[in-house]
Structure 1
Amino acid sequence: MSKPIVAIVGRPNVGKSTLFNALAGEMISIVKDTPGVTRDRIYADVSWLDRDFTIIDTGGIEPDSQDIILSQMREQAQIAIDSADVIIFITDVRQGLTDADSQVADMLRKSRRPVVLAVNKVDNYKSQQMDVYEFYNLGIGEPFPISAEGKQGIGDLLDAVVSHFPEHSGEEEDSEIPKIAIVGKPNVGKSSIINKLLGENRVIVSDIPGTTRDAVDTTITRNGKDYIFIDTAGLRRKSKIKEDIERYSIIRTVSAVERCDVAVLMIDAAEGITEQDAKIAGIAHDRGKGLIIAVNKWDLVEKDNSTMKTYTEKIRSVLSFAPYAEMLYISAKTGQRLNKLFDAVDQVLESQSLRVPTGVLNEILTEAIAMQQPPSDKGRRLKIFYMTQVSIKPPTFVIFVNDRKLMHFSYQRYLENRIRDSFGFQGTAIHFIIRERQENGES
């Protein structure tokens, strides 16, 4: 099930990052007074009325600007709008309705997405009521007065946002066809790999900005089985600003990974693994998706007997949070080992849907506890009563314990390793939910 995506859009300095942080519950974005400094973490998971969704904070849209940073922010906001299920359009009551707001509203109307209008910095609704009403002139519906800083009015705003979600968001009709997202930094060969698998140039690879701005879904059949490949290419703008390009690709990646079953992270063999690659892998890991690392352009690397081993160790070290990821060394250009990609995808899909019977699981647990005592703190020892698998995609286990605080991360990792040793789970994250229960069995 993919979560709906909500994009926060508006001019610079209207409070997008402040609202984002209020919803995310922590200070994530950098907030400064210079237009265009929102560069840090830009997405977060939010729950409201039992609905889970992902929010994306866009750079400020400056509709007419010729300035390179602001014009790229406009393009990046457009990508977020194209990816979103619902848009929060945020304006500033103190600055009043501006021409730029009207231009942004026109841009949003063309997107044909549901738009919820937020009027920010309303500290006293009674005295500012007429100023809020002015925003009806945008012609995109009722303005919701909020104070992102004071966290006022946000509940009504979110009620309106979730009312636009489909009843069963993420339940797509073709959900039995596995979805594979090809992700990675710009120019690592994402479109080329799909072209090679298709045997034709269906995905446009070109230097024209925005040629593949919308993620392209391509169905490929192999051995009578269909796979939907989601391509996140299209970041071909020659940008002077590395952070901007990175931000674009993060927005696209969140949206593609949200929809996929398995993410294939492509790494450029000549360049090696980078921090940006780790960020992209982290998105797939956080969302519990299957993960395959495909090192592309392997044909261009000079090799000796230990090249692959050294390369693998380096990748494993940078992606230490996802030791389960499958790895392939390929060439999209020559087709080297591309046939292995489908085998790896099938293996990961099988792992994601694997269910372990509770009896067998608790035998493994008993054995693991006997081999390594659970941790203790101030004389109180962690007791683990019981474990059961509650869902798949990703495989999720509930562990009942006497005190959640005593379940150290390192011991949880130890139990995860024991489960992986016994059942494999190659290529997929495993999630644990730790629940407290009294010794007599009461939760």
Structure 2
Amino acid sequence: MSFTLAIVGRPNVGKSTLFNRLVGKRLALVDDQPGVTRDLREGEAKLADLRFTAIDTAGLEDATDDSLQGRMRRLTERAVGMADVCLFMIDARTGVTPTDMVFAEILRKKSAHVILAANKGEGAAADAGVIEAWSLGLGEPIRLSAEHGEGLNDLYSQLMPLADEFEKNAQDTGPQVDVDVDEDDEEDAVPVPTRSKPLQIAVVGRPNAGKSTLINKILGEERLLTGPEAGITRDAISLRMDWNETPVRIFDTAGMRKKAKVQDKLEKLSVGDGLRAVKFAEVVVVLLDAAIPFEQQDLRIADLAEREGRAVIVAVNKWDVETEKQEKLRDLKESFDRLLPQLRGAPLITVSAKTGRGLDRLHDAIMRAYEVWNRRITTAQLNRWLTGMLEQHPPPAPQGKRIKLRYMTQVKSRPPGFVVMCSHPDKMPDSYSRYLVNGLRVDFDMPGTPVRLFMRSQNDQNPYKGRKKAPPSKLRKHLKGRSKD
């Protein structure tokens, strides 16, 4: 039986460190400075034989207005309301602060099950803080060290009876049956996203492009922290949902600025987290700001997604504030074709994350790009096509050596990859490879998707080809000497 554990507390008490230890991965960013975590991050946690969902939350601060800290606090309080158990962490070396006292009172009212943990409890310097934690009125504190893994046995002892209680209540309400859409087992068929294997989508772009707002609108609730400030998102947060009946896992990433401007250590960690999300994704949505589209950093981000071999969608946000929509759209398409020729034919979708307009078109474009990204073409079709391409435009003969293209086959999908067996592959100019790639995109209806084309030489049957001539043996030298006599 799985339950939900929300880890809450003041900034910099070690919540993300414990979260990473429970899930067994470095999912959450960790740094010495307070306030690193801002969004809610969920992960499948494991503690001995217990399996549960852990939620890493932003640090609780004494702010209730519409400031960034106030919005972070409301998001954390929402996590407290949706969790089965709350793990309230304090810093044992600092001791109990007035802020801890305020939040302990809030947790007593809002959560039915609260476990108190005094983190950073290794060494004698934490003794006073552990004793002082009794004053919070939340029972016996667990002496923890999330950094070194100490005290997890005590945490298990307190979670175990609660897990049994949740399991008993679930049995009383009857079994829950989760029926997944049956998967297509055919090797060449396009895989259908299911709840166990959802479609992986990463939303990337510059700071303040509206990535978190867009995902909140798709989700239908304010799940991610948003606001007018640039650079709010720091972690690459993943969320599972059903989007128009399609199971998806969507990644919200930190805004990526120019490399020269990224000096702060924390921002470097955030950008690195976003780049990893691009590598794990299947479809990448590059979100642009309609007011300043196709800046140099936008082009770099789109090129990165193409080089990683991901299906790419270009979405232009804040379309609701545009007045000359037709003229602007015409300029956008012209700039797209000119500045991103490697993604020629990729979908260009206009959306408004604020009003939700264009989200259905964005969903359809993602599913279409995913289908093309998984496409396979038979060898017979490819070779008939290759014959026609050779008749229209034969390959060049560099240095008088004619290049013969013998046959072609598809060796992979996701993205589509093709091998052409030919003579002198090292002499094949890049312009002719681009001619074949562009023909593949047009003739087999693969607009925008990355296409990988490799030139290979057929294996020669002569095992001695390329080997140096062996020197004559001593016997041959001797016989040659006798013949002269």
Q: TM-score range by the shorter chain?
A: 0.5 to 0.7
Decide whether the 8 Å contact of 2:255 with 2:271 is kept in 1.
no
3-state SS, counterpart of residue 393 of structure 1: coil
Decide whether the 8 Å contact of 1:181 with 1:260 is kept in 2.
yes
Is structure 2 residue 350 aligned with structure 1 residue 332? no
Describe the superposition over 1:268-306 as per-residue Cα deviations: whole angstroms up to 9, x where unpaired. Answer: 110121111111111111111000000111222231643
Q: 1:327 to 1:174 in 2, by over 3 A?
A: same
Instruction: State the distance in 2 between where 1:439 and 1:369 align.
Output: 24
Is structure 2 residue 194 aligned with structure 1 residue 177? no
Instruction: Report the alpha carbon displacement of residue 213 of structure 1 after superposing the two structures with TM.
Output: 2.6
1:44-443 alignment, distance < 5 Å: 110=147, 176-206=197-227, 212-233=233-254, 242-244=261-263, 250-303=271-324, 305-437=326-458
Decide whether the 8 Å contact of 1:253 with 1:280 is kept in 2.
no
Q: 1:365 to 1:291 in 2, by over 3 A?
A: same
Instruction: Report the alpha carbon displacement of residue 267 of structure 1 after superposing the two structures with TM.
Output: 0.6
Letter in 1 for 2:287: M
Instruction: State the distance in 2 between where 1:111 and 1:320 align.
Output: 51
Letter in 1 for 2:290: A
Letter in 2 for 1:265: V
Describe the superposition over 1:119-171 as per-residue Cα deviations: whole angstroms up to 9, x where unpaired. Answer: xxxxxxxxxxxxxxxxxxxxxxxxxxxxxxxxxxxxxxxxxxxxxxxxxxxxx
3-state SS, counterpart of residue 388 of structure 1: strand
Instruction: State the distance in 2 between where 1:399 and 1:422 align.
Output: 17
Decide whether the 8 Å contact of 1:402 with 1:439 is kept in 2.
no
3-state SS, counterpart of residue 342 of structure 2: coil
Comparing 420-429 and 199-208, the one that deviates more: 199-208
Instruction: State the distance in 2 between where 1:263 and 1:403 align.
Output: 36
Instruction: Report the alpha carbon displacement of residue 207 of structure 1 after superposing the two structures with TM.
Output: 7.2
3-state SS, counterpart of residue 344 of structure 2: coil
Q: 1:213 to 1:292 in 2, by over 3 A?
A: same
Q: 1:427 to 1:378 in 2, by over 3 A?
A: closer
Instruction: State the distance in 2 between where 1:227 and 1:181 align.
Output: 10
Decide whether the 8 Å contact of 1:185 with 1:249 is kept in 2.
no
Instruction: State the distance in 1 between where 2:205 and 2:230 align.
Output: 18
3-state SS, counterpart of residue 321 of structure 1: helix
Q: 1:243 to 1:421 in 2, by over 3 A?
A: same
Instruction: Report the alpha carbon displacement of residue 250 of structure 1 after superposing the two structures with TM.
Output: 4.4
Instruction: State the distance in 2 between where 1:322 and 1:302 align.
Output: 28
Percent identical among aligned pairs is: 35
Where does residue 131 of structure 2 map in the other structure?
none
Instruction: Report the alpha carbon displacement of residue 224 of structure 1 after superposing the two structures with TM.
Output: 2.5
Gaps of 5+ in 2: 1-29, 37-145, 150-193, 466-485
Describe the superposition over 1:303-338 as per-residue Cα deviations: whole angstroms up to 9, x where unpaired. Answer: 164321112111222212221421101111111211
Instruction: State the distance in 1 between where 2:195 and 2:245 align.
Output: 16
Decide whether the 8 Å contact of 2:238 with 2:250 is kept in 1.
yes
Instruction: Report the alpha carbon displacement of residue 212 of structure 1 after superposing the two structures with TM.
Output: 3.9
Q: 1:308 to 1:234 in 2, by over 3 A?
A: closer
Root-mean-square deviation (CA), in Å?
Answer: 3.6
Q: 1:111 to 1:178 in 2, by over 3 A?
A: farther
3-state SS, counterpart of residue 381 of structure 1: coil
Q: Higher relative CO (CA 8 A, sep ≥ 6), structure 1 or 2?
A: 1
Instruction: Report the alpha carbon displacement of residue 243 of structure 1 after superposing the two structures with TM.
Output: 3.8
Q: How many residues align?
A: 283
Instruction: State the distance in 2 between where 1:384 and 1:441 align.
Output: 20
Decide whether the 8 Å contact of 2:313 with 2:365 is kept in 1.
yes
- Structure ID, larger Rg: 2
Q: Taking structure 2 as the reference length, what is the TM-score of the superposition?
A: 0.52
